[in-house]
């Protein structure tokens, strides 16, 4: 934290920075209160949707860029703002489709969603391991609640798995933070925090990657994700694999790029190994899946592998302020923006199948029943595979470009081969949708709550490919990471 | 040219909105594109064309990371534009009413947009995007309308060519990055990147990595030995309109990659790579002609024949760049002419096999026989296509193969015997297939079959006339190819 932007303000005066957070929490409690009157769940979903939209606007308005408060604990910069807005959008995204799975107590679902979003906004602006931990934990606990919103015992199995492993991961984060403090004497994350690589900082590195990598579903901390995504409502899976993952990603970017800038050698090796294993494992496991939800879950593991390639590039340059590092971080940011739409949209598209545990054969003939939905879903899958004319292509494109610019051509080859492998299973889904006849008696749910979000995400994914024109702006935002 | 390209974009987008008469719409729109392209060629390339690019333009989109949309048309790409417009039109014309779903026509139009995009792009980013865009509609054509094993075959096709494409992307990044390091300018423009002076400065390892990626992507599309194994299955499983596009359109992409993208930097390629290409070409010729001889189905046989003909292209590229002077021009122009001729001939051949298949229900050589008696016109068209394909003088196929053969001797010496040998095999199985299926005693099991209708006659005749005209007056396009080569060497 360079001192000239430290417009330190403490006390009640700082309350003005928390307007969006306070607003969202208050509405959350109001929703809980309304819930005692058994309101229509559709109304609740709209209230939540517009509250989140207003929260997004407020976050934009009440973020004094370049200010930090509480001695650098919270830093308001465009980097955090970018991710805060992305995560708010991903919460907005599931308001409407979640209606399908809600049978009772819908107010708890929507209030929890708002509280989770509060945690996400705080995490986006936190530059301190303690506040990061608290907001991260707030999100985790909220998502345990969201994940348990289901109907059958099977759903609960996934949730319990998520809860137990999540709790252990929390302990790892705390332990890692303690080691970090032991070495640096501070919880604040800034480029100068750690002076040199010591045994303590290596311990902190390992514990923190286990703790935070758990949420991002990085191999080998991914196993919960498969069962949990499979076991929960489609819209919750969408949220877990989109919003909650982006949160983990922004935390990882901040912790490992700022906090461990003295130990980039170890960060580099760690993330190269993790990313190669994660993408390869995710893609290869997805190949043999016949369960569509598990297929998407494995693909989401693989995507996490691509995302953390960014850390490998940045740490390989050894200098976080270099041009290549800026490009890499910006490509990661762009990737996460596209990612919430393509991944969230594809999970929501599964809502069109009326029963749980969606098999590949269940979507066969979707193109006959609803061509528009099938085409939209296909666009999302093509984006995940990184085929041009979708935002997914440019996301991958910039990522691989930064790999080559960073001189990691062999890593780029591995990533590119992985992306070629992934085409197999994404196209298998497309093949079932377009090439097969519908199963007898199979009825698709083609109501608005299924169609509209999928259409929206597919068109946004395509429009985002034009976003490339504003990519330099993203690079500028990326440089905000440093404070 | 940009306007014509935008027109293809608009047509393919519009086609989704038209439900009732989408086939007619597709045919009319692709005919308009063809006519405009012909007019454009007459206007820009007739007589006055020396070399270089026409209608060159560049639009800066994101200057800070070098993203521009640049376009330009050389004599060579103009010839290919004409070819792709013709091939697309034929593939649309041979479809019958109500046989295929509406989406087929949209896919074909998207493929046309992609092909036009590839041929006019002069910057790597958009080149790559269109390169991939072509794959998607072709994939869907096979996956939705294909024959047996369409699922696995279409997937194999897509993944195979996609792997080629991602290596292309890797190569593009490599030259882009080194260009930035050398000049501190971010650019994807081919006119800046594909320059000998710059390419030869790239460290050896990276240079070969880049060339490897380019060549892999282009050779997969051609297809050349040893990256051809997607070919027979894909041609076989694809519906005939798709096969026409595969043979005419996709192999064109590979040829354009070699002659349009790599040729300007030929001196950096080094004789090592070029020699490898020569051998790959010869092996392709031999291997594919032997493989074609073993096929029972006319469609599979011609799939291999098509790949064999592209072996001439690889051979001429390698040999032409090693040699100098008159012979080099002869070979290179011959190779490019061969791409055009091959696309047209294969369109005719596959279109007539398609009609035979429609009328008799068979495409295997041994199930046919003597159909000349019942369908003389159709048989004659297939025979004409086959004769053109084996390189009969007077038809388009002869010009390319002849100029390559004449020129190549200096580069490969007595290895030319292998080339001639493969040409003999090619000729013999072509004649054998024609004899067995078209002439001889009539296979009565086929029952009553009918000849071409007036409409089909017109389509096939039109194609044949183009082939014939190019055979006796090759200078219509040969001239601009020679000028194009002259501008580079």
Mind giving me the DSSP string for B256-272?
A: HIIIIIIGGGHHHHHHH
List pLDDT tens digits, range B22-42: 778 888 888 888 888 888 888
For tokens 């199930």, the residue is B367
Q: CA of B322 to nearest chain A CA: how many angstroms apart?
A: 31
- Kindly report the average pLDDT of chain B as a whole number: 82
Contact yes or no for B167 and A387 at CB 8 A: no
A416 contacts chain B (CB < 8 A) = yes
For chain A, say whether B158 makes contact (Cβ under 8 Å): yes
Q: Any CB–CB contact under 8 A between B166 and chain A?
A: yes
Distances (CA, A) of B286 to B71, B292, B393, B485: 38, 10, 22, 28
Query: Chain B contacts of A434, Cβ < 8 Å?
Result: 140, 143-144
A410 touches chain B (CB under 8 A): no
Give the best residue of A374, A431, A436, A478 to mutate against chain B (max B CB count within 10 A).
Answer: A431
In a mutational test of the A interface, the residue from B171, B173, B216 whose CB has the highest number of chain A CBs within 10 Å is: B173
List, in sequence order, the alpha helices (H) in B257-324.
266-293, 298-322
Query: Are residues A471 and B166, on separate chains, in Cβ contact within 8 Å?
Result: no
Residue A409 to residue B180, Cβ atoms within 8 A: no
Q: Which of B61, B65, B178, B205 to mutate to probe the A interface, most A CBs <10 Å?
A: B65
Location of structure tokens 């800038």:
A261
Range of the domain at A313: 3-482
Give me the residues of B, 202-231, that contact A with CB < 8 A: 206, 209
Residue B248 in tokens: 């005419």
Whether B139 and chain A come into contact, CB under 8 Å, resolves to: yes
Q: Does the distance separating the beta carbons of A397 and B169 come in below 8 Å? A: yes
Inform me whether the C-beta atom of residue B69 falls under 8 Å from chain A C-beta atoms: no
ipTM of model over 0.85: no
User: How far apart are the C-alpha atoms of B438 and B386, rounded to whole Å?
Assistant: 12
Q: Pick from A409, A419, A469: which is nearest to B61 by CB?
A: A469
Q: Indicate the domain borders of chain B.
A: 2-488
How does DSSP classify residue B188?
Answer: -
Subunit contact A416:B177, Cβ cutoff 8 A = no
Whether residue B304 lies within 8 A of chain A, CB to CB, comes out as no
- Count other Cβ atoms within 10 Å, centred on residue B444: 8
CA distance A25 to A45: 16
Terminal Cα distance for chain A, rounded:
6
Whether residues B65 and A389 touch (CB distance < 8 A) is answered with no
Please list the residues that pair with B59 across neighbouring strands: B69
Question: How far apart are alpha carbons A345 and A459 in whole angstroms?
Answer: 10
User: Is B159–A412 a contact, with Cβ atoms under 8 angstroms apart?
Assistant: no
Which chain A residues touch B130 with a CB distance below 8 Å?
388
Contacts of B177 in chain A (CB under 8 A): 401, 404-405
Q: Taking a C-beta distance cutoff of 8 angstroms, is the pair B296, B388 a contact?
A: no
Chain B residues with beta carbon closer than 8 angstroms to that of A397: 169
For residue A387, which residues of chain B lie inside 8 Å, CB to CB? 132, 136
The predicted structure's pLDDT at residue A276: 92
| CB proximity A427 to B under 8 Å | yes
Task: Name the closest residue on chain A to residue B136, using Cα atoms.
Answer: A387
Nearest to B65 among A416, A428, A471 (CB): A471
Q: What angle do CA A473, A479, A483 make, to 5 degrees?
A: 130
Tens of pLDDT, residue by residue over B106-140, are 888 888 888 888 888 888 888 888 888 888 888 88
The predicted structure's pLDDT at residue A10: 55
Instruction: Please tell me the predicted confidence (pLDDT) of residue A117.
Output: 92
Chain A residues close to B140, C-beta within 8 Å: 434
pLDDT single digits (tens) B380-428: 888 888 888 888 887 888 888 888 888 887 777 788 888 888 888 888 8
Which residues in chain B are closer than 8 Å to A437, comparing Cβ atoms? none
With contacts defined as CB-CB under 8 Å, which chain B residues touch A400? 169-170, 173
Q: Which residues, 6+ apart, have CB-to-CB distance to B468 below 8 Å?
A: B394, B395, B396
Name the A residues in 79-118 with CB < 8 Å from any B CB: none
Closest of B434, B252, B261 to residue B353, by C-alpha = B434
- Residue B285 in contact with residue B419, Cβ under 8 Å? yes
Residues of A in contact with B227 (CB under 8 A): none
Give the chain B residue nearest A476 (alpha carbons): B64
| Cα distance between residue A420 and residue A396, in whole Å | 12
Place of tokens 């009157």: A37
Chains A, B: CB pairs < 8 Å: 81
Kindly identify which residue of chain B lies nearest to residue A415, measuring between CA atoms: B166
Look up residue B399 and give its two tokens.
């010009």
Total domains, chain A: 1
* CB proximity under 8 Å: A 308-337 to B: 327
**How many residues does this entry show for chain B?**
489
| A401–B contact, CB cutoff 8 A | yes
Nearest by CB to A472, from B64, B133, B167: name it: B64
Give residue B67's pLDDT band: very low, low, confident or very high (50, 70, 90): confident
Asked if A123 and A247 count as a contact pair (C-beta separation under 8 A), the reply is: yes
Cα separation, A88 vs A80, whole angstroms: 12
Among A397, A420, A472, the residue with its CB nearest the CB of B159 is: A420
Min Cα separation A401/chain B (Å): 6
Residues 6+ apart with CB under 8 A from A481: A77, A79, A253, A254, A257, A258, A320, A329
Closest approach of chain B CAs to the CA of A450, in angstroms? 23
Report which listed range, A63-67, A276-280, B77-81, B204-208, is most confident.
A276-280
Q: With CB atoms and an 8 Å threshold, state whether A413 touches B170.
A: yes
Q: Does the distance separating the beta carbons of B170 and A416 come in below 8 Å? A: yes
Q: Is the separation of the CB atoms in A151 and A233 below 8 Å?
A: no
Question: Contact A435/B180, CB-based, under 8 Å?
Answer: no
What is the per-residue DSSP string for B23-89? HHHHHHHHHHHHHHHHHHHHHHHSS---SS-EEEEEEEEEGGGTEEEEEEE-HHHHHHHHHHHHHHH
pLDDT higher than threshold 80 for residue B368: no
Which phi and psi angles does B148 have, rounded to 5°?
A: -70, 150
Tens of pLDDT along B236-245? 888 888 888 8
Question: Is B136 an interface residue toward A (CB < 8 Å)?
Answer: yes
Give the residue from chain A lying closest to B64, CA to CA.
A472
Neighbours of B375 (CB within 10 A): 21
Give the residue from chain B lying closest to A365, CA to CA.
Answer: B144
Which tens digit of pLDDT belongs to each residue from B328-350? 788 888 888 888 888 888 888 88
Q: How confident is the model at residue A5, as a pLDDT?
A: 45
Residues in chain A with CB shorter than 8 Å from the CB of B136 are: 382, 387
- What count of other Cβ atoms lies within 10 Å of the Cβ of residue B23? 21
Regions of chain A with pLDDT less than 70: 1-13, 150-155, 191-197, 356, 441, 481-483
Contact B133 A388 (CB under 8 A): yes
Q: What is the mean pLDDT of residues B319-336?
A: 81
């Amino acid at each position: 934290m360079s001192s000239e932007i430290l417009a330190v303000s403490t006390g009640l005066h700082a309350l003005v920075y928390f307007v969006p957070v306070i607003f969202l929490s208050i509405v959350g409690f109001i929703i809980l209160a309304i819930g005692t009157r058994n309101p229509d769940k559709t109304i609740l979903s709209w209230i939540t949707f517009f509250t989140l939209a207003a929260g997004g606007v407020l976050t934009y308005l009440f973020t004094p860029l370049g200010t930090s408060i509480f001695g650098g604990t919270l830093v308001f910069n465009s980097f955090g703002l970018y991710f805060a807005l992305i995560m708010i959008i991903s919460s907005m995204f599931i308001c409407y489709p979640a209606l399908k799975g809600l049978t009772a107590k819908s107010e708890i679902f929507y209030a929890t969603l708002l509280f989770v979003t509060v945690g996400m906004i705080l995490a986006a602006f936190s530059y301190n391991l303690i506040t990061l931990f608290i907001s991260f934990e707030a999100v985790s606990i909220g998502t345990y609640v969201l994940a348990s919103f289901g109907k059958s015992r099977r759903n609960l199995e996934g949730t319990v798995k998520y809860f137990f492993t999540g709790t252990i991961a929390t302990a790892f984060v705390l332990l890692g933070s303690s080691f970090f403090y032991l070495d640096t004497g501070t919880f604040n994350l800034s480029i100068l925090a750690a002076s040199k690589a010591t045994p303590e900082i290596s311990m902190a590195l390992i514990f923190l990657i286990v703790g935070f990598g758990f949420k991002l579903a990085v191999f080998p901390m991914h196993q919960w994700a498969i069962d949990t995504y499979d076991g929960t409502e489609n819209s919750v899976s969408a949220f877990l694999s989109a919003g909650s993952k982006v949160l983990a990603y922004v935390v990882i970017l901040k912790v490992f790029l700022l906090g461990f800038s003295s130990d980039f050698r170890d960060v580099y090796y760690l993330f190269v190994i993790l990313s190669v294993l994660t993408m390869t494992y995710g893609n290869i496991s997805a190949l043999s899946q016949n369960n569509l939800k598990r297929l998407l879950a494995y693909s989401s593991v693989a995507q996490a592998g691509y995302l953390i390639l960014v850390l490998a590039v940045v740490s390989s340059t050894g200098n976080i302020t270099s041009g290549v590092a800026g490009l890499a971080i910006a490509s990661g940011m762009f990737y996460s923006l596209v990612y919430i739409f393509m991944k969230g949209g594809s999970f929501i598209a599964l809502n069109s199948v009326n029963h749980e545990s969606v098999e590949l054969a269940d979507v066969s003939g979707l193109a006959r029943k609803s061509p528009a939905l099938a085409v939209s879903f296909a666009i999302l899958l093509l984006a995940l595979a990184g085929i041009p004319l979708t935002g997914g292509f440019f996301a991958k494109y910039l990522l691989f470009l930064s790999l080559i610019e960073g001189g990691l051509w062999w890593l780029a080859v591995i990533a590119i081969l992985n992306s070629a492998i992934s085409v197999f299973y994404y196209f298998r889904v497309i093949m079932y949708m377009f090439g097969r006849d519908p199963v007898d008696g199979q009825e698709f749910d083609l109501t608005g709550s299924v169609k509209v979000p999928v259409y929206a995400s597919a068109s946004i994914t395509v429009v985002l490919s034009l976003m490339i024109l504003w990519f330099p702006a993203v690079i500028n935002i990326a440089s905000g990471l440093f404070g | 040219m940009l306007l014509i390209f935008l027109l293809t974009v608009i047509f393919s987008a519009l086609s989704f909105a038209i439900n009732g008469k989408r086939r007619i719409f597709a045919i009319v729109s692709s005919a308009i594109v063809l006519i405009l392209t012909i007019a454009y060629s007459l206007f820009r390339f007739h007589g006055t064309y020396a070399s270089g690019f026409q209608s060159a333009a560049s639009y800066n989109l994101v200057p800070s990371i070098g993203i521009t949309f640049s376009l330009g048309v050389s004599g060579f790409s103009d010839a290919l534009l004409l070819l792709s417009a013709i091939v697309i039109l034929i593939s649309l014309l041979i479809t019958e009413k109500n046989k295929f779903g509406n989406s087929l026509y949209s896919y074909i139009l998207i493929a046309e947009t992609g092909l036009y995009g590839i041929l006019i792009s002069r910057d790597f980013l958009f080149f790559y995007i269109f390169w991939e865009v072509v794959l998607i509609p072709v994939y869907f054509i096979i996956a939705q309308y294909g024959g047996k094993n369409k699922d696995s075959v279409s997937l194999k096709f897509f993944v195979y060519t996609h792997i080629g494409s991602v290596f292309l992307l890797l190569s593009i990044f490599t030259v882009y990055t080194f260009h930035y390091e050398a000049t501190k300018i971010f650019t994807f423009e081919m006119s800046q990147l594909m320059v000998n002076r710059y390419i030869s400065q790239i460290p050896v390892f990276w240079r070969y990595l880049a060339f490897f990626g380019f060549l892999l992507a282009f050779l997969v599309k051609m297809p050349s030995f040893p990256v051809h194994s997607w070919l027979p299955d894909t041609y076989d499983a694809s519906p005939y309109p798709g096969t026409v596009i595969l043979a005419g359109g996709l192999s064109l992409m590979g040829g354009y990659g070699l002659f349009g993208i790599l040729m300007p930097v030929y001196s950096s390629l080094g004789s090592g790579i070029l020699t490898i290409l020569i051998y790959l070409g010869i092996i392709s010729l031999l291997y594919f002609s032997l493989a074609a001889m073993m096929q029972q189905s006319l469609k599979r046989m011609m799939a291999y024949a098509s790949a064999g003909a592209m072996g001439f292209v690889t051979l001429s590229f390698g040999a032409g760049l090693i040699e100098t002077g008159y012979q080099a021009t002869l070979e290179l122009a011959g190779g490019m002419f061969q791409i055009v001729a091959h696309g047209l001939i294969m369109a005719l051949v596959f279109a007539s096999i398609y009609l035979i298949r429609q009328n008799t229900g068979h495409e295997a050589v041994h199930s046919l026989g003597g159909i000349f008696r019942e369908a003389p016109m159709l048989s004659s068209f297939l025979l004409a296509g086959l004769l053109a394909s084996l390189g009969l003088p007077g038809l388009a196929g002869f010009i390319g193969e002849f100029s390559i053969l004449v020129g190549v001797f200096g580069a490969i010496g007595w290895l030319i015997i292998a080339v001639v040998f493969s040409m003999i095999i090619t000729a013999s199985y072509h004649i054998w297939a024609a004899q067995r299926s078209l002439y001889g005693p009539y296979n009565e099991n086929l029952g009553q079959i009918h000849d071409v209708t007036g409409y089909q006659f017109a389509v096939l005749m039109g194609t044949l006339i183009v082939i014939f005209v190019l055979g006796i007056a090759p200078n219509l396009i040969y001239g601009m190819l020679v000028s194009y080569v002259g501008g580079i060497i």
